[in-house]
Structure 1
Amino acid sequence: MLPLFRIIALLEGVSYILLLFIATPVKYFMNEPKYVKLLGMPHGLLFIAYIVLAIIIGSNLKWSSKIMRTVLLASIIPFGTFCVDKKFLKP
């Protein structure tokens, strides 16, 4: 299950960066909301999958509450999921 979580973490991080730094500025500066609509739903699904898998993986690996909070908080910080992958998920 850890390899799946690593893939979801990578995809969630990339979708968040694209949404935050590409789609949102295009929406507000160019008055073009289609990119937010295109990226919003996949990012939302990846975000939910990341949270659910983090809880499952954290339980299986017996992460401390501090590590669990860090992993969950990383999902709302740009580039956070990449840091989590490097620090906690590398085999």
Structure 2
Amino acid sequence: MLNIFRAASVAEGLSFLVILSVSLGLISRDYVFMLGMTHGVLFLIYMVLSLWVSNSRDWSVVVWLLIFLAAVVPFAFVGVEIFLRREEQKCEALAEPA
């Protein structure tokens, strides 16, 4: 489940950057509706998966709030990716036989 959340995090973060590039004039405003709908769906998937993963991993509310705030800050998905990669490495280390 963590790998699916990682993919959703990166996809949501990149779609957010694409939406912001419309504001800068890098992408035509003709695509705003399509890009907005795509980003909205990815944002909802990100939120549902973040709740699901935080519940299954027993993360605190503070950790979940930081992950939530990362969805609305440009380039913060990179920090989330680093955090999730470390979480995955911890789980793999615990799963390895001693």
TM class, shorter-length: 0.7 to 0.9
1-side partners of 2:10 and 2:44: how far apart? 14
Q: Identify unmatched segments of 5+ residues in structure 1.
A: none
Distance in 2 of aligned mates of 1:34 and 1:8: 25
State the structure with more CA Rg: 2
Higher helix proportion, which one?
A: 1
Instruction: Give 5+ residue unaligned stretches, structure 2.
Output: 89-98
The CA distance in 2 between the partners of 1:62 and 1:52, in whole Å, is 15
Moved over 3 A (4+): none
RMSD over aligned Cα, in angstroms?
1.7
AA at the equivalent of 2:37: M
1:35 matches 2:44: no
- How far is 1:47 from its partner? 0.3
Identity %: 33
Output the TM-score relative to the length of structure 2: 0.80
Q: What are the within-5 Å matches in structure 2 for residues 8-87 of structure 1? A: 8-20=8-20, 22-26=21-25, 32-87=28-83
